[in-house]
Chain A
């Protein structure tokens, strides 16, 4: 079962910041928080990941609370092409590659 819970859907106006929350209150100390998104009928696309510290890349920013029980993905200036399902996933930091367990994700709709 997925260790994360996310709102089912969110709306955002084009040009505004989209803040997508994720609850992972049972996450272990050795688990990263990964974010992926899936545009309709395509494979998931990696966005960002983090362990404790906040992270930023060219796509988004990831804010992780100090207790690591929740995080927020921020798309600073949402565009219509950001309409997708966003998945927050807890991934163990063990050696070897761990399988990703996808939850239901958040369906983000960016409108003009």
Chain B
């Protein structure tokens, strides 16, 4: 079946530093990828949608200069949290879609803790 690999699974960083999260589709080409954020005991909130080779479309209220998304190839998208602050601590999840795959396949998530 379709597999999406997300790395790292958890990361701790100091306030003010940047963190990059990778999302890879292992056995299919993902034309569209989505990035979500989930705070404890809450549902997933969509942050942005990215299409390969295009600029990401951010949801209202999400700072595009703080959450940099790159979707340079059909199998890789990255989310960089710049100048991270403790309030950015959250569970970040990517999702990939393809016309060859049923539904939307999610990565296993990255737990970011900013100290």
Instruction: Give chain A's interface residues, CB within 8 Å of chain B.
Output: 34, 36, 38, 41-46, 49, 87, 96-97, 99-105
Instruction: Give chain B's interface residues, CB within 8 Å of chain A.
Output: 4, 6, 31-32, 34, 36, 43-46, 49, 91, 93-95, 97, 102-109, 111
Additional A-B contacts beyond A46-B102, A100-B95, A102-B44 (9; CB < 8 A):
A41-B109, A43-B4, A43-B6, A44-B106, A45-B106, A46-B103, A46-B105, A102-B36, A102-B43
Contact A99 B46 (CB under 8 A): yes
Partner of B31 from A34, A41, A97 at Cβ < 8 Å: A97
Chain B residues near A49: list those with CB within 8 A: 102-103
State the main secondary structure of chain B at its contact with A: strand
Complex CA distance for A44 and B34, rounded to whole angstroms: 13
Contact A104 B43 (CB under 8 A): yes
Chain A residues near B107: list those with CB within 8 A: 43
Chain A residues near B103: list those with CB within 8 A: 34, 46, 49
Contact A44 B44 (CB under 8 A): yes
Chain A residues near B108: list those with CB within 8 A: 42-43
Contact A100 B46 (CB under 8 A): yes
Chain A residues near B91: list those with CB within 8 A: 41
Chain B residues near A104: list those with CB within 8 A: 43
Contact A100 B105 (CB under 8 A): no
Complex CA distance for A104 and B39, rounded to whole angstroms: 12
Complex CA distance for A55 and B106, rounded to whole angstroms: 22
Chain A residues near B95: list those with CB within 8 A: 43-44, 100
Complex CA distance for A87 and B45, rounded to whole angstroms: 13
Do A100 and B104 form a contact, CB below 8 Å, given A42-B109, A43-B93?
yes
Chain B residues near A38: list those with CB within 8 A: 44
Q: Which 3 A-B pairs have the closest CB atoms?
A: A43-B106, A97-B97, A46-B103
Which of B45, B97, B104 has most A Cβ within 10 Å? B104
Chain A residues near B109: list those with CB within 8 A: 41-43
Contact B43 A97 (CB under 8 A): no
